[in-house]
A and B are shown apart, each in its own frame.
Chain A
Amino acid sequence: MIEFKDVKKEFSGKLVLRGLNLCVDKGETISLVGTSGAGKSVTLKHMVRLLEATSGEIFIDGTDILTLEADELSKMREKFGYLFQGSALLQWLTVFENVALPLRENTDLSDDEIEEKVYAVLEKVDLTEAAEKTPANISGGMQKRAGLARAVVTEPEILLYDEPTSGLDPVTSRTIDGLIHDLQKDLGVTSVVVTHDMISALTISDRIAMLHQGTVSEVSSPKEFLHSKNEVVRNFLDSQCISSNFFEEFPERIL
């Protein structure tokens, strides 16, 4: 379980998180939505302590990660898989080597075992053909899938996705949504997805949290979210032309 208690974060005198409270239950998929600058990615980075909170408490499975020493933090991070907005693949390694990296560095598995695991994950994300290519030689969508494969290859308990569909065409975006949904079902992990894309959020989430000016302005199930009276939520939905009858209009979006 992930729990934020009154978390504040200040950058050069500007308060980005203003006492954020959020609870993510074990095994659920929650999407953090909101306008640019609302603090979504900042919130995600606090979960793995890539950013240090100015004040407040962040608990991962009951442990306050802000109090952990470097070694303990490193151990804690092994629970996480993280898909970065720009994939963050190491450019001088092939797709195979990128996906194998966390296994080579953190486990004592033999080369054969690593190869077996990596190809199994690459098959899940349909990237077996591109295994020997470097990130520069594959498309943006393939890079996202490679990043996703790297995030899940260690079988983490918690998966964090930072804008998994940004910069992708609608067809590829829906493919990524499908992958996230399937991985969640297969591995039973807790997932936190930061996204601007409401269709994606409605499709893959158990709950959706609306962030506004550094606080959570609403948390509800996708169906409740669509019928919310919250002005911030309504404006956000209207700006993407999402009607309250989204699931009735597009039943194929239900995964």
Chain B
Amino acid sequence: MINQNTYECPECANFFARWGHNGLAFCQLVGQAIILNGRALLMFPLMFSKRSRREVSYQLFFTGIRSLPVISVVALFIGMIFAIQTGIELQKYGQEVQVGGAVTVVMLREMGPFMTGLIIAASVGASIGAQLGTMTVSEEISALQIMSIDPVRFLVMPRLVALMVMMPLLSLYTNILAITGGAIIGVTQLGVEMQAYIDNVVLYAENKDLYTGLLKSVVFGFIINMVACHQGLTTKGGAVGVGKATRSTVVVSFLVILVTGFILTKVFYG
């Protein structure tokens, strides 16, 4: 499934040779992770099969419904914080009524998918990395292979389906709650009329912002699953290895989400 014999950097005295070898090792890891998730993507038609239906349903529930409490709190407070910070500045120019538009544009374009991605990477991604890591070190993955059960179909594909389906929905939910949080601050702290806030939101909300935000969240879902499953399935070294895999899942997901987010923003708005 994944070649565990990863590229090993020989002892190189030369600084540049060492960098070269490390670069090769990094390229191998990225290639493995992409191939792993690519295979899972090709198995999407099997998600409705009798053998996969149950696991896919559970992963949809775990990723979507179980993430709602933490996403609700974070989204609401992000909207409120953003409304306070921009509202104070806008008040200086008597333009506090624009706070709804500011919150809407920022959430739809960037913060909605980005914050959802970070929360899901830290919760669901970490959980996937830890679970698959534990399964790898306790030989459960080997047991699946011996039973002729493809771990990619059995474990990776259902998680990929769940993340790519739930991420845009959760991102949309984050946007709605953050705009609601902005409304609470706008009305109670900045003295903006509710109707004026809603009008401002509608005025600034554009379809392009919504669609690019949703597309970003689908891509972030793919990234989280790619990193988490690869880290989990290549775990070595018992409990310490599982800890490292979990940590790497969160750190690498954050970094890749940041860089990919920038690239997508540049492509659509640059």
Contacts and interface: CB of A to CB of B under 8 A. Distances in A.
A and B associate in one complex: yes
Most buried by A among B139, B140, B147, B149: B147
B51 A86 contact: no
B79 to A, nearest CB: 36
Nearest to A101: B147
B142 A74 contact: no
Contacts of A80: 146
A12 B8 contact: yes
Interface string A97-108: 000011011100
B28 interface: no
B65 interface: no
Given A86-B138, A86-B139, A90-B140, A102 B147 contact: yes
Contact of A88 (B8, B140, B149): B140
Interface string B143-157: 101111110001000
Interface in A44-93: 45, 48, 50, 52, 74-75, 77-78, 80, 82, 84-86, 88-91
B138 A88 contact: yes
Given A12-B8, A105-B51, A84 B139 contact: yes
Counting contact residues on chain B (CB < 8 A from A), the size range is 10 to 19
A90 B147 CA distance: 12
A105 B147 contact: yes
Contacts of B8: 12
Contacts of A85: 139
A86 B138 CA distance: 7
Interface string B9-21: 0000000000000
B51 A77 contact: no
A101 B149 contact: yes
A84 B140 CA distance: 9
Contact of A77 (B135, B139, B140, B145): B145
A102 B140 CA distance: 13
A82 B146 contact: yes
Interface of B: 5, 8, 51, 135, 138-140, 142-143, 145-150, 154
11 contacts: A75-B148, A77-B148, A84-B139, A84-B142, A102-B148, A102-B149, A105-B51, A106-B147, A106-B149, A150-B147, A154-B147
Interface of A: 12, 45, 48, 50, 52, 74-75, 77-78, 80, 82, 84-86, 88-91, 101-102, 104-106, 150, 154
